């Protein structure tokens, strides 16, 4: 019986992971030209970007610095001139909040089920063998 409850807890955990990873979306942004900086920055330090280069290689990294001609990440530097597409990951905070509330509720239900004493299935007035 305890194994079944642990399977339930593991299932809730897996569902939580899958739901929270689906709360991001990619937004395509204009690639700035190196001769004129953009009027309003579409990419900011701390954003996670997905870049497809002109030779069809994809790179995903967190932006640590922005230069006039390139985006910089940990161990990455991609020039605007080499980019075919530039996407910025955005987290949908309202969706994340509802998912986290649902996960917390499910965790409480599973924790309650695990802590419950198993029912006593003894037959009253039974004659022992």
Q: Is the pTM of this model over 0.85?
A: no
Q: What's the confidence (pLDDT) of residue 40?
A: 46
Query: Would the CA dihedral through 77, 81, 83, 88 be positive or negative?
Result: positive
- Distance CA(83)–CA(88), nearest Å, equals 13
Is 128 contained in some domain?
Answer: no
Residues 74 and 103 grouped into a single domain? no
Residues 86 and 96 grouped into a single domain? no
Is 123 contained in some domain?
Answer: no
Q: State the average pLDDT over residues 112-119.
A: 62
For 3-40, how does the pLDDT look when each residue is reduced to its tens digit (9 = 90+)? Answer: 566 676 677 666 666 665 556 666 677 777 656 655 44
Q: What's the confidence (pLDDT) of residue 106?
A: 77
Q: List, in sequence order, every beta strand (DSSP E) within 57-126.
A: 58-66, 70-73, 76-79, 83-91
Is 63 contained in some domain?
Answer: yes
**Average per-residue pLDDT for the chain:** 75
Q: What's the confidence (pLDDT) of residue 100?
A: 74
Domain that holds residue 107: 1-23+92-116
Give me the CATH number covering residue 28.
2.30.30
For 42-65, how does the pLDDT look when each residue is reduced to its tens digit (9 = 90+)? Answer: 888 888 999 999 999 999 999 999
């Amino acid at each position: 019986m305890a194994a079944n409850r642990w399977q339930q807890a593991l299932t809730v955990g897996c569902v939580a992971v899958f739901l929270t990873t689906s709360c991001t979306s990619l937004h395509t942004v204009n690639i700035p030209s190196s001769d004129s900086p953009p009027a309003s920055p579409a990419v900011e330090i701390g954003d996670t970007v997905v870049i497809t280069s002109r030779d069809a290689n994809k790179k995903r990294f967190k932006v640590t610095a922005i230069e006039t001609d390139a985006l910089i990440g940990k161990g990455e530097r991609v020039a605007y001139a080499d980019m075919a597409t530039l996407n910025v990951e955005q987290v949908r905070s309202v969706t994340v909040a509802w998912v986290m509330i649902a996960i917390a509720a499910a965790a409480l239900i599973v924790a309650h089920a695990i802590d419950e004493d198993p029912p006593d299935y003894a037959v009253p007035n039974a004659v022992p063998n």
